[in-house]
Structure 1
Amino acid sequence: MHFDYLNHPYPSQRQTIFAKNGMVATSQPLAAQAGLDILKKGGNAIDAAIATAAALTVLEPTSNGIGGDAFALVWTNGSLYGLNASGPAPASLSIEAMKAKGYSQMPAHGTAPITVPGAPSAWTKLSKRFGRLPFREVLAPAIAFAEEGYPLTPILGKYWSLAYEKYKTVLTGDEFEAWFKTFAPDNRAPKIGEVWRSPDHAATLKEIAETNGESFYRGRLAEEMTAFIQKHGGYLSKEDLAAYEAEWVDPISVHYKGYDIWEIPPNGQGIVALLGLNIIKSIPINEKESADTYHKQIEAMKLAFTDGKAYVTDPKAMEMTTEELLSESYGEKRRLEIGDHAIEPQPYKPARGGTVYLAAADGEGNMISFIQSNYMGFGSGIVIPGTGIAMQNRGHDFSLDETHPNALKPGKKTYHTIIPGFMTKNNQAVGPFGVMGGYMQPQGHMQVVMNTIDFRLHPQAALDAPRWQWIEGKKILVEPQFPSHLAQALARKGHQVQITVDTGQFGRGQIIWRDAETGVLTGGTEPRADGSIAAW
């Protein structure tokens, strides 16, 4: 497979990277280098991804941690495999329990929204099935970063500081003391360029490495986590952890203009990206920088999100199946609702998220799309004392309305925002891609796919292109570099256009494509983050 790329139409400080033997793309330079080092030691792309993911829990704690969830799409030996490493609600967490404590909606912080973490299980499952190097060796770079420390990069420092300023007024209980001791040891956020280290984090990673994850789910670390959480009114139990394993799943896809676009099935929101592409694929798209093109993209995504929020939850509780939602007839039904002016579908209000994404490839043809998150930045604000484990708050997305599709139930998995993407053509791998960032993610996936296929942009240009984000109703956000004449034209079509200088709201993406004939890898990294590609 070979793309006939157009010239780069957007200014960028980064160039598309080409390599032959291996490539790792992610939002933190040292993490990308950690993955590349594993490739050079004889590891494959899956080993590199695990090393990078574990390193990111140290190198970008503003977005993910050991106590978070993960998903992966793995291409190896001509087949694509999916891994869902999202955890369910604890068995004792229920709507009745939350309402008895006076809650009308799930809180964002504290012990209540903590669900079973899946990330360590993802690492061990991937290593056991597809890895080549010993698990201990793959986690060694992350352990070294935690022990020895590293200097904060600019975007990381920015969001760390913002989180601290928020948390010092929001996180006021005793249960949050370990967060401040871990992430603000001098009663402030570490500064850009300042070295931060976490010996507790290093010790925990060592224990996970030496026990192949068993301590985290069925050993000492499990006991530490559950004892602290239950002491402070939470619900996670040793039984919840012991019963958990990441789940291998069959990826889902839509065929889009000669390519197959793949996502993880629900409970993830990857289906929203596929719904949007399925709706827009038969609509004539003539040029990228046109108000008509942006209008049709936005309207298709509105409809996709309306359906996603109405139906997507734990697949065992979905009223409409994935097959029904992605059918040609359903796509055509929704496509007919797109007219010349902005419509207002059933509204919802997205929340901002915190996530890391990485893509990795080796010279043998193995490729992986991997995403990992604590959600909403640092997550719940709960750090287990003495371990460095920052716990996610994924339960915040559950509804306390019994009639809602995503209503909280014990043991249920919530609607999940983090999604890895993958592209194939004629049953051959094109490669992994992803755009992290809460409810921006499927919108970013759709824009990157169309930038690549419809508008023939190479990976860096596909990521550099100005982005839009639908928020609710007719409201959309655009970046400062979004063409002003097009923003005005969209406003005339009824869109409520708002320009925002916070480019962090538009996600952070990575792309690696592989030429099927030559094996050459082509990568792009996010200009809105400390993005980096390590290539060999």
Structure 2
Amino acid sequence: MTGDAPTLDWSHPHASRRSPVLGRNVVATSQPLAAQAGLRMLLDGGNAVDAALAGAMALTVVEPTGCGLGGDAFAIVWDGRELHGLNASGRSPAAWSPQYFAALGGIPERGWNAATVPGVVSGWMALWRRFGSLPLARIAQPAIGYARQGFPVSPVVAQLWALGAARLGDQPGFAECFLPGGRAPRAGEIFRNEALARTLELIVQTEGEAFYRGALARALVQHAQAHGGALSLQDLDEHRADWVGTLAQRFGDSVIHEIPPNGQGIAALAALGMLDAHGVGGHPLDDARTVHASIEAMKLALADLDEYNADPAHARVAPADLLRPDYLRARAALIDPLRAGDPACGAPRPGGTVYLAAGDAGGMMVSFIQSNYMGFGSGVVVAGTGISLQNRGHGFSAVPGHANEVGPRKRPSHTVLPAFATHADGTPQMAFGVMGGPMQSQGHVQMALRVLRYGQNPQAAADAPRWRVTGGRGVAVEPSFDADVVRRLRALGHDVTVEPGSGVFAFGGAQLVLRLGDAYVAGSDPRKDGCAVAF
């Protein structure tokens, strides 16, 4: 036996009782067909980036409720020697200004005036050019096959599809693409998307150029102009994905890495830094005192996020200043162990996102996320292309002078965040993420606590019931949350709501890949359709 494996709790303390998946090569995604697409690349001799890209492309087909070719993406890659962070989120059209939206009565959630420049295709190309080892056509083949030949719709995706249809069915191109026969497909029904297959083939043939400077770019702009949008060919031509590195925060014996702003991962780093300063770990994992401290740290971090997070070119405070040890100690001192606080923070909304993690036998690991934001995003689908647009523009602020105020060629504050943990010596430890709009930073805190501080195995961490702060003293918990802990939280002044139904709609979906000596152990969230696969 080679390699030093960490000590993990292999028990099944939560309701799912899924077993963690172990192997030297592993992929964990939110949809089984996408996981298999990634695994096929590894079986063909590809690396973890090839696997992540095949899974990501497939997810635009088999989980369109969370992502599409008109979305954004972020990635953290361990290449075997060092970490790399990629920001492939789009900027606003040059025509966007506070006055532009004042005339519209505000920033909408739907339609072309909610969509910024799509970044996901640029992210795929940047990852493939730097780290890919297989031909792009081979990587895209599973996605193209699912689109052209069809795939059976999975149960959770079918639920989300029906919800999206009810909300977005009147948006340009939506019904034509996503409502065959006038309704959302049901679980088990075969769905085909020939237009998307052709678009993926064109992206492959041109290595993404058609999307930003060719036929697809022209189709995007013509559709925008026909439906009141402001997107221009110049907006698309000037888009670039950026290699931005990571922000890091020590947490016990680990270091947590997130993409810098405009991503909101800094909130997770700040909360974990506060918890370290507060001394979390002295009580049992699911003890009310541990949960209370975690909630309070998250509220303080979100208050700062709401005030300061923005496109770094427009930020008023440097991200590093929000993570200074003295500042985090001062913030941690505001956590009262006997009473819930009421700092100013926004009320998170459910979102639509897909996250995947992969690791290969050579040691490469990938933490990757892509999203259309609120479910199907803006609801807009460009006719004849299968390109569904995100609604990231709604993430801007309309408050005059705010760091995140809407403006031209600007990235909005972004909920999408991949996470990565290294050991204190800089060696890789875990790729992880939790889908679900602003739940993501809160989910990162809960996963880091469970796996990295308390040693839960990744599947148990994904299974565990979650909490979510909702503003003020409000906290939502899942129905399986311990009733005695709920009672104790209420006694501390938390306004706790037990939310019925499936947690996927409000508590996100986690995927985790933990390095285990010379192999990996992975977990996949039971709230979604996905799975971890390995060999």
TM-score (norm 2): 0.97
Residue in structure 2 matched with residue 140 of structure 1 by the alignment: 141
SS of alignment partner, residue 198 of structure 2: helix
Q: Give the distance between the partners of 2:129 and 2:486, measured in 1 at CA.
A: 50
Q: Which amino acid aligns with 2:374?
A: M
Q: Give the distance between the partners of 1:214 and 1:519, measured in 2 at CA.
A: 39
Residue in structure 1 matched with residue 422 of structure 2 by the alignment: 424
Q: Which amino acid aligns with 1:463?
A: A
Structure 1 spans left out of the alignment, 5+ residues? none
Cα pair 1:8 1:458 within 8 Å, conserved: no
Aligned: 1:129 with 2:130: yes
Determine which of 57, 75, 78 is the counterpart of 2:78.
Answer: 75
Instruction: Give the alignment of 1:446-485 within 5 angstroms.
Output: 446-485=445-484
Q: Which amino acid aligns with 2:476?
A: L
Q: Give the distance between the partners of 1:342 and 1:73, measured in 2 at CA.
A: 35
The Cα shift of 1:493 comes to 0.4
The Cα shift of 1:177 comes to 4.2
Residue in structure 2 matched with residue 296 of structure 1 by the alignment: 293
The Cα shift of 1:78 comes to 1.2
1:248-284 per-residue CA deviation (whole Å, 9 max, x = no partner) reads: 0111110111111100000000000000001111223
Q: Give the distance between the partners of 2:183 and 2:13, measured in 1 at CA.
A: 41
Residue in structure 2 matched with residue 386 of structure 1 by the alignment: 384
Q: Which amino acid aligns with 1:49?
A: A
The Cα shift of 1:93 comes to 1.0
The Cα shift of 1:223 comes to 0.2
Q: Give the distance between the partners of 1:486 and 1:97, measured in 2 at CA.
A: 48
Q: Which amino acid aligns with 2:472?
A: G
Determine which of 404, 407, 426 is the counterpart of 2:405.
Answer: 407
Determine which of 6, 22, 26 is the counterpart of 1:18.
Answer: 22
Residue in structure 2 matched with residue 344 of structure 1 by the alignment: 342
C-alpha root-mean-square deviation of aligned residues, in Å? Answer: 1.0
Aligned pair count reads 525
Cα pair 1:145 1:197 within 8 Å, conserved: yes
Q: Which amino acid aligns with 2:479?
A: P
Residue in structure 2 matched with residue 208 of structure 1 by the alignment: 203
SS of alignment partner, residue 114 of structure 2: coil
1:390-436 per-residue CA deviation (whole Å, 9 max, x = no partner) reads: 01110011112222221001001000000000011121111200001
Cα pair 1:269 1:308 within 8 Å, conserved: yes
Instruction: Give the alignment of 1:173-322 within 5 angstroms.
Output: 176-284=171-279, 285=281, 286-322=283-319
Structure 2 spans left out of the alignment, 5+ residues? none
Q: Give the distance between the partners of 1:519 and 1:218, measured in 2 at CA.
A: 44
Q: Give the distance between the partners of 1:401 and 1:11, measured in 2 at CA.
A: 44
The Cα shift of 1:317 comes to 1.1
Q: Give the distance between the partners of 1:166 and 1:120, measured in 2 at CA.
A: 26
Q: Give the distance between the partners of 1:513 and 1:346, measured in 2 at CA.
A: 35
Cα pair 1:355 1:374 within 8 Å, conserved: yes
Q: Give the distance between the partners of 1:156 and 1:441, measured in 2 at CA.
A: 19
Cα pair 2:172 2:227 within 8 Å, conserved: no
Cα pair 2:178 2:184 within 8 Å, conserved: yes
82-91 vs 280-289, which moves further: 280-289
The Cα shift of 1:42 comes to 1.6
1:145-184 per-residue CA deviation (whole Å, 9 max, x = no partner) reads: 000000011101111111112234xx3xxxx242101100
1:276-299 per-residue CA deviation (whole Å, 9 max, x = no partner) reads: 001111223321121111110000
Q: Which amino acid aligns with 1:287?
A: P
The Cα shift of 1:351 comes to 2.1
Q: Which amino acid aligns with 1:428?
A: T
Residue in structure 1 matched with residue 162 of structure 2 by the alignment: 161
Cα pair 2:302 2:346 within 8 Å, conserved: no
Q: Give the distance between the partners of 1:214 and 1:189, measured in 2 at CA.
A: 32
The Cα shift of 1:66 comes to 0.4
Aligned: 1:37 with 2:37: no
The Cα shift of 1:347 comes to 3.6
Q: Which amino acid aligns with 1:364?
A: G
The Cα shift of 1:30 comes to 0.4
The Cα shift of 1:372 comes to 0.2
Q: Give the distance between the partners of 1:321 and 1:37, measured in 2 at CA.
A: 42
SS of alignment partner, residue 395 of structure 1: helix
1:73-119 per-residue CA deviation (whole Å, 9 max, x = no partner) reads: 00013100000000000001111111123x1x310001101101110
